[in-house]
Structure 1
Amino acid sequence: MQNADKGTAASPLDGKELRIGIVQARFNESITNALAAACRETLLDLGVQAEHITQVSVPGALEVPLALMALAERDEFDALIALGCIIRGETYHFELVANESGAGVSRVGLDYGIPIANAILTTENLDQAVARQTEKGRDAAYVAVEMANLLGGLAA
């Protein structure tokens, strides 16, 4: 992850002109609420105006790509962010949800030419999810702002 705080981004990240859409899965809601809080706080720290952040929620990770697509079709966002948490259980369902949600997020970004920061956590257990919830929420904000600026510069 590249960001201004770590001194590795090509230039300081500036989100003041950006419009960002966030889709948050409610499944494992305590984790996704923490992801969303860290993400929003970081977006604001990067200069994104609160009124330029649109957040919607969906039942789970499999529904995230469809909501991302609906936001992308509005053609008013510079970047989107996917937030969710999938914790391995005892069945194959974990792999299905992780693979399909990830593929769907990528497909929306490529089909609509919009950067999407994918912060759908895939962990072995709740402890791993809790350990990652804040950092990955912040990372998603950095990725969204950096990629929006990059693509905006390439289009100019």
Structure 2
Amino acid sequence: MPERATVADADQLAELDRACFAPGERWSAQLWRDELEVADRLVVVQRDRDLMAAATFAVAFEIVDLHRVLVRPTHRGLGLARQLITAGALWAGDRGAERMLLEVRHDNTAALTLYELLGFTTIDTRRDYYGTGLHAHVMQCDLRGMTRGTNQGDHRG
């Protein structure tokens, strides 16, 4: 089950980040500490013995931004990302948010597939956002549709 991360998790989050992202895209332990200390943020994690997955969200008024989703390569395809995103949607909805926004690289087909299954649609493309030739799709989803009928035990993605 997803649980809220604490500042004590910052080093493990940075280690998970190293397992998931290329050197230029990684967040340091200090960036994770900063993320964990901000009042409008939620960092949720899935644990086994170590952190298997994490996601971070920021809510402002009626919008929640999905900042980052990390799933350890050995644990992908088990539904962890979907569970974390749903937990973030429920948290944001409780705070009055109505829709979720995210940016995803145009060539991240696994993430794009998951986001589309969750009801996200592309509303814009930011050319060269991640570097030359690496575009970002800006996607949004109505939180009411994402969280309606949520069953935490039946998630894949």
Per the TM superposition, whether the score is higher than 0.5 is no
Higher relative contact order (CA 8 A, sep 6+): 1
Normalising by structure 2, what TM-score? Answer: 0.32
More strand by share: 2
Higher helix fraction: Structure 1 or Structure 2?
1
How does the TM-score come out when normalised to structure 1? 0.32
